[in-house]
Amino acid sequence: MTIRHEIIGEQRDRLGECPLWDVRDQSLYWIDSKARRVQRLAKGAYREWATPSDVGSIALTRRGRLVLSLEDGFHLMDLGSGATLRLAEIHHKGPTMRMNDGRTDRQGRFVVGSMVMHRRDLDGGFYRLEKNGDATALFDGIALANATCFSLDGRSLYHADSLSGAVSVADYDPVSGAVGPRHTLFSTEAQGSPPDGATVDAEGCLWIALPLSGKLGRYQPDGKLLLLLDSPVPYPTCPCFGGPELDVIYLTSISNSGNLLRSDHPDAGALVAFHGVGVRGLPEVLFDDEALG
């Protein structure tokens, strides 16, 4: 197996995150949280949209819009006009907080965790945007939510608190959305970094970005490390699968997080593509926005 990588485009993000491949038109979306923009690359054409505040994550929708997790909650973005509409406000438990990493569940609901900034208090939690636009609180006790993704059957919600270094799982009822008790699966400490963004491949394994060690790891759900890829750019943040065969891994990165992570490397903040990994991903689940008008 020969794995190769390429740097995609000239764009360099401050805090690149949440890449998503849209199989409908073979386009790639991702965000720059600190520059407050959503980006798209489709057939070589680049486009971007501004967001009203720092953006933590996005979800594709059935009607061709985007759902955003912003500082104050969930918003809907019209890609034609760029206009955003707040759907549900989140009242954070403490000061200096925002919404962060998220992923749609297998039923088309958007699950997002929040984060504290410049402190370590466990004031964050996970929330779900329902199909009618309401928000449901799922659980709390999180400082920096990351690695949000779901098992193949949708019955396990994987997530991490990056400040603890632990990847955890909770039982997740696909029908009711009820969340069971959480427990730790494994730590990424042995790989020299806390976990950041993650995705699940077609075999049910987790791919987790490891920013401080500059690597991307593939793990079984029990924590067994199967593969460790070196990132060609500093501070990788989040992977997704894309390409016509869903066999390309796209990886975002950081040039200046506005906090602790900063690099003068010329490709810091670049979007990277890995080819030849020998594994396929799954199509992104579209948020069901039919009831939102």
- In tens, the pLDDT along 67-79 reads 999 999 999 999 9
Structurally, at CATH architecture level, domain 4-292 sits in 6 Propeller (2.120)
Identity (one letter) of the amino acid at 237?
T
Q: How high is the pLDDT of residue 1? A: 67
DSSP category for residue 70: E
- Res 275: pLDDT: 98
Alpha-carbon span 177 to 161, nearest angstrom:
21
Which comes out higher in pLDDT, residue 259 or 25? Answer: 25
Structure tokens at 137: 């609180």
Full-model pTM: 0.97
Q: What is the per-residue pLDDT for 260?
A: 82
Find where tokens 């759907």 sit: 87
Sign of CA dihedral 220, 141, 210, 18: positive
- Cβ pair 85, 70 in contact under 8 A: no
The answer for 246, left when phi > 0, alpha when psi is -120 to 50, beta otherwise, is left
- Give the domain ranges of the chain: 4-292
- Mean pLDDT, to the nearest integer, of 244-255? 98
What is the per-residue pLDDT for 109? 98
Q: What is the pLDDT of residues 183-227, one digit of tens each?
A: 999 999 999 999 999 999 999 999 999 999 999 999 999 999 999
Quote the CA–CA distance of 152 and 81 in Å, as a whole number.
35
Residue with tokens 């918003």: 75
Q: What is the pLDDT of residue 232?
A: 97
Percent of the chain exceeding pLDDT 90 equals 98
pLDDT (tens digit, 9 = 90+) per residue, 62-113?
Answer: 999 999 999 999 999 999 999 999 999 999 999 999 999 999 999 999 999 9
Residue 159 has pLDDT above 80, yes or no: yes
Quote the percentage of the chain above a pLDDT of 70: 100
Res. 47 pLDDT band, cuts 50 70 90: very high
The total number of residues written for the chain in this structure: 293
Spatial separation of the C-alpha atoms in residues 218 and 195, rounded to whole Å: 12
Structure tokens at 236: 């990788």
* pLDDT averaged over every residue in the chain: 97
The burial of 201, by beta-carbon neighbours within 10 Å (0-12 exposed, 13-18 middle, 19 or more buried), is given as buried
Alpha-carbon span 155 to 172, nearest angstrom: 5
